[in-house]
Amino acid sequence: MIYPKKLKENDIIEIISPSNGVKIKKIKKYEKAIENLNSYGFNIIEDKYVRNSEHGVSSSAFNRSFEFNKAVKETDVKALVACSGGDYLIQIMDLINFNCIKNNIKWIQGQSDITPLLFYITTKFDIATIYSFNVKSFGDDYLPKSMIKNNIDFL
């Protein structure tokens, strides 16, 4: 199995929205999650549609796949973490550049709707992915800090 490199201080994590974005009522939790990730020494950027959520998607399938493919190609980005789940990741599966994923190995993490993508990457290309928190969970007050720290240490 191919494991992406461990993250280190000042590495860039990009928040992606391959399905839904962050709903307005969850923005404060999302922003707290970003603060928490920054406190571990990471630089956080987000794709163009992370803060959009209309009818269960962050944008059109083309736009979501374009942003995902762009994030995968970016060599300075060391990990991708989904902002939320949803129901429409399947719309972009045929639009993803999987050769680029093989050539730019990085951690890809999320849960719920991103599952088919993580499963495909891991089983087809033998690249480890992480089925774990979407980024908003890093902003949960009720989540034990040890769970967040364990996820960060794994990355």
pLDDT in tens, 84-142: 988 999 999 999 999 999 999 999 999 999 999 999 999 999 999 999 999 988 988 88
Q: Which residue has the tokens 């199995």?
A: 1
* Burial of 3 (C-beta count, 10 Å sphere; 0-12/13-18/19+): exposed
88 CB neighbour count, 10 Å cutoff: 16
Q: φ, ψ for residue 118 (rounded to 5)? A: -60, -45
The percentage of the chain sitting over the pLDDT mark of 90, rounded to a whole number, equals 85
pTM across the whole model: 0.95
Q: φ, ψ for residue 127 (rounded to 5)? A: -105, 130
* Burial of 107 (C-beta count, 10 Å sphere; 0-12/13-18/19+): buried
